[in-house]
Structures are given as C-alpha cells and as structure tokens.
Structure 1
Amino acid sequence: MNLNKEEIFQKAVSFLKDRLNQLREERKAISEGILEDDKSSAGDKFETGREMLTQDLRQVEGQIKSNSDLLEELYRIQSIKGIGEKVREGSLVKIGDDHFLISVALGKLPLPEGEIFLISPVSPLAQQIMGKGHGETVLFKGKSQQFELIA
C-alpha cells in the first residue's frame, strides 16, 4: 500500500470536520427540542423530558469539545515536518500488514488504498515504538515483529 502522509492528514482532518458538523447539527436539534418542550409541556413530565434533553445537550457539547481538541492536535502534529530516523509524533509506521500514524486517538480511518490506524503517542503500541529506529522489533499481536518507519 502506497501511503502519502499529507493525504492521510487531509482525510483525518476532513473526517473530524464532518464529525464536528454532525455534532453541531445534533446540538441544534436538541436545543430546538428543549425550546419546543418548553412551549408545549407542563408538570413532572415536562421536567423529566427537559432534563433528559439537557443531559443529551451536555453530552454533545462534551463531544464537540473533545473532537475540536483532536482537530487542533492533529493540525499541530501535521505541522511537524521531516522524517526522523526514530519514531516520533507524526511518524507513519508499518507493523505486519497494518499501518499506523502516531498522531491522535482517532482509530481506524478508511482510505482508498486500504485502512490506517491513527493512534495517540501515549497509546501502549506507540509507547513501545517511540524512539526506536527502522527495523527494530516490537511486540504486536502477541508476536515479536519488525516495524518499518515509512515517513
């Protein structure tokens, strides 16, 4: 699989922006639901329904904040240029058949060429390979495997 790190970053940024837009739409719908509930209800049922919507709103607000933070962090890591001889933040590595970008904890990102996993530098796998050089070994999927530092 031929992967371009900049294209991966662009796809990840696009993915996070889409997710943020969906969350903002959800926030808008919940806010409108709270206003509608305010106009049409009274009594205990009203209080329960409003509280549930308020909790949903808090949860969505938290997700928006979390995803905004991920996007900011992704932009910061994307600005790190150059390929080092050792694995660091922003490195693209291959272990077995799997590809990893050490950036933010986004998980599996589908690409036209296949899939890549975006993992946090503090994840257990990233911690194993940070600071190591191309061809060194890492314990992955229960086996000791060499990894390839791609970019």
Structure 2
Amino acid sequence: MNEFKAKVYQTAISQLKEKEALLATERKNIIESILEDEKSSAGDKYETGRETMTQDLNTIEGQIKQGKADLEELYRLHTIKDTPSTVQEGALVKLGADWFLIAVSIGLVKVEDAKVFLMSRNSPLGELLMGKKKNEQVNFRGKTQVIEELV
C-alpha cells in the first residue's frame, strides 16, 4: 500500500477513535446527570429536563453506533493492498490540489500538509468518480477536473 494512503487511513482511524472516546465521556456525563436529577427533582420541570437529557443520550448513542460502523469500514478497506485500476471503494483520488478517499463520510483530515476528504461512494462526487480511471475527467458542480492520481 502507498505510504501516503496508509497515513490517511491511520489519521482517519485515530480521528474516529478520539471522537469515540469523547462521545463515551459525554454519554457517561449525561447518564450521571439523569441519575443525579432523579434524586433531586420533581414536577414538570423535572420531566422536561429528563426528557431533554434522554434525547441527548439517544443522539450520543446513535453517533457512537455510527462511529463504530465507520471505524469497522475503514479497517476493512485498509486491508485492501492493491492499487486499483479504476476508482472504487478504498481508492485515494487526487483532483486538483485535493485528495479524496472513497470510504466513509467523515469529512476532512489533514495528512502531511495535504487536505484529504473522506467520502462515501454514494456521495454526489463519489458516484461521479466510481469506475473512472487516472487522467479521465469529471464534471462536478460546473467544474471539470482531471483525475491526476489514483492510489
């Protein structure tokens, strides 16, 4: 596997793990707040506060679940060692000055002063790139760009 591509995967995995740790801490804090609130409150104000915290907890748990799924997908794609001949899942593509990893939609990561956008194959640009080869053109948002690198 290309060294730069390996660093992109390592950076993205580290970023997801950090986010997972932060979400776990936030989840713990919300649960503690719910339990503490049960001891000290009564009435409508209590019910409203508890409902808000429960919704926050559900949101956090959904984000944790999505983060775990994204992490598993990155690990799976990271095991692909071959350089693809066409853009496919796991491919690292350079368009202009920017790099795109067709993997999971987690956004921007910085690797060696380069911007790398992680996106799903089902994203609008991901769908345009799938199956294309190096030096082919794509027209995205009225702008034509050439696939300069495919790793």
* Deviation of 1:75 (Å): 0.9
Alpha-carbon distance between aligned partners in 2 of 1:137 and 1:112, rounded to the nearest angstrom? 26
Residues 1:36 and 2:36 aligned together:
yes
User: Number of paired residues?
Assistant: 150
Asked whether the equivalents of residues 133 and 149 of structure 1 are also in contact (C-alpha less than 8 Å), the reply is no
**In structure 2, what residue type is equivalent to 1:115?**
K
- Note if contact 1:87-1:149 (Cα within 8 Å) is conserved in structure 2: no
What do the CA deviations read for 1:79-123 (whole angstroms, capped 9, x no partner)?
112002111111111111111111110111122322110111111
The TM-score normalised by the length of structure 1 is 0.94
Alignment correspondent of 1:81: 81
In the alignment, is residue 104 of structure 1 matched against residue 100 of structure 2? no
Q: Is the 8 A contact 1:109 1:115 kept in 2?
A: yes
The Cα of 1:3 is off from its aligned counterpart by 6.7
Q: Please state whether the residue corresponding to 1:117 is helix, strand or coil.
A: strand
- Name the amino acid aligned to 1:113: D
3-state DSSP of counterpart to 2:70: helix
Identity across matched positions, percent: 50
CA contact 2:7–2:111 (8 Å) conserved in 1: no
Q: Gapped runs of 5+ residues in structure 2? A: none
Structure 1 residues not aligned, in runs of 5+:
none
Runs of 4+ in structure 1 displaced over 4 angstroms?
none
Q: Give the root-mean-square deviation of aligned CA atoms.
A: 1.5
The DSSP-based 3-state class of the residue aligned with 2:13 is helix
